[in-house]
């Protein structure tokens, strides 16, 4: 497989295994996933029905978004492409849940398809993916009257689980551990919050001796949630604003 997969309660990450050394002037092109790069096979559907229910979008006839991603990598040797996606229906506790399995299989099907396309291997070497996940009910028991002791025990078990659980898909064996309040941890990963971007910054800087949070060169972030009348929210636009980077709607990138 072209990527290392990491599954944690609050995030799923795919990091390229064989990326080239990253210079200080690395260029970051960032995208949303659903209804920006891909959509269900039925153009009227909003949500996919399974790991095979997707296709690359075409904002111009016979010009799938995949072509643009490949062209970015061909035209700009300093390019890295990262996808940030909210997946509110995906639960990773346990990591064997149906929703988690469906999503990871979908991502890996997309990567396999890319590998079959002209210059797809070039894109895969430069492609990163970060997905926020849904708060699992198992880690957030409802508070009941006169059950303080029971709730306290449940909280201790939750924290103990998070400190010791290791995902079978975590190739480096990193432990799953909370950082501060669990509610905040999950919400911080969901756009428009920038937790996913902070994870990416940490990961990509570990691949370079010269890249830092302050010198990463963001080119733009492209997403469909721009606050227009046709949009369900403005979370993508806010996400870009919080990162202080240029925001583009898909039509800006894929119809050009």
Q: Convert the pLDDT of each residue in 108-128 to its tens digit.
A: 999 999 999 999 999 999 999
Which pLDDT does position 202 carry in this prediction?
96
Per-residue pLDDT at 193 exceeds 90: yes
Which pLDDT does position 165 carry in this prediction?
42
Task: Quote the radius of gyration of the chain (alpha carbons, Å).
Answer: 19
Q: Which range, of 93-97, 144-148, 172-176, averages the lowest pLDDT?
A: 172-176
Residue among 195, 192, 207, 222 nearest 81 (CA)? 222
Per-residue pLDDT at 137 exceeds 90: no
Cβ atoms of residues 246 and 219 within 8 Å: yes
Give domain status of residue 161, yes or no.
Answer: no
Give domain status of residue 43, yes or no.
Answer: yes
Which pLDDT does position 27 carry in this prediction?
97
**Extended strands (E) in 32-189:** 38-39, 55-56, 58-60, 63-64, 79-86, 127-132
Which pLDDT does position 191 carry in this prediction?
98
Number of folded domains that form the chain: 1
Per-residue pLDDT at 95 exceeds 70: yes
Give domain status of residue 232, yes or no.
Answer: yes
Which pLDDT does position 167 carry in this prediction?
41
Which pLDDT does position 148 carry in this prediction?
57
Kindly report the CATH number assigned to the domain that includes residue 83: 3.40.50.1000
The average pLDDT across 92-119 equals 95
If one compares 212 and 166, the residue with the highest pLDDT of the two is 212
Per-residue pLDDT at 105 exceeds 90: yes
Which tokens sit at 22?
A: 């990253």
Give domain status of residue 229, yes or no.
Answer: yes
Give domain status of residue 173, yes or no.
Answer: no
Cβ atoms of residues 247 and 241 within 8 Å: yes
Which pLDDT does position 31 carry in this prediction?
98
The average pLDDT across 65-81 equals 97
pLDDT one-digit tens code per residue, 147-175: 555 455 445 445 544 553 444 345 543 33
Mean pLDDT, rounded, of the chain: 87
pLDDT class of 80 with cuts at 50, 70, 90 = very high
Domain range enclosing 28: 3-138+180-254
Q: Which residues are CB-neighbours of 181 under 8 A, at least 6 positions away?
A: none
pLDDT class of 51 with cuts at 50, 70, 90 = very high
Burial class (CB in 10 A: 0-12, 13-18, 19+), 154: middle
Which pLDDT does position 164 carry in this prediction?
39
Give domain status of residue 47, yes or no.
Answer: yes
Give domain status of residue 95, yes or no.
Answer: yes
Percent above pLDDT 70 for the chain: 84
């Amino acid at each position: 497989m072209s990527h290392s997969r990491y599954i944690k309660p609050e995030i799923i990450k795919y990091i390229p295994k064989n990326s080239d050394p990253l210079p200080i002037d690395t260029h970051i092109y960032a995208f949303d996933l659903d209804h920006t790069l891909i959509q269900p096979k039925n153009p009227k559907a909003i949500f996919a029905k399974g790991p095979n229910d997707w296709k690359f979008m075409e904002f111009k006839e016979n010009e799938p978004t995949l072509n643009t991603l490949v062209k970015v990598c061909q035209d700009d040797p300093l390019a890295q492409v990262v996808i940030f996606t909210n997946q509110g229906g995906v639960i990773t506790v346990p990591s064997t849940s149906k929703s988690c399995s469906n999503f990871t299989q979908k991502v890996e099907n997309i990567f396999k398809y890319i590998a079959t396309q002209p210059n797809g291997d070039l894109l895969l070497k430069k492609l990163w993916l970060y997905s926020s996940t849904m708060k699992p009910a198992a880690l957030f028991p409802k508070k009941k009257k006169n059950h303080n002791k029971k709730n306290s025990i449940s909280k201790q078990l939750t924290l103990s689980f998070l400190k010791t659980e290791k995902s079978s898909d975590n190739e480096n064996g990193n432990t799953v551990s909370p950082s501060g309040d669990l509610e905040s941890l999950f919400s911080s990963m969901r756009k428009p919050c920038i937790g996913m971007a902070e994870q990416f910054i940490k990961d990509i800087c570990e691949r370079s001796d010269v890249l830092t949070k302050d010198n990463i060169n963001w080119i733009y972030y492209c997403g469909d949630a721009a606050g227009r009348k046709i949009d369900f929210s403005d979370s993508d636009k806010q996400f870009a604003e919080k990162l202080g980077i240029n925001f583009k709607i898909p039509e800006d990138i894929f119809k050009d």
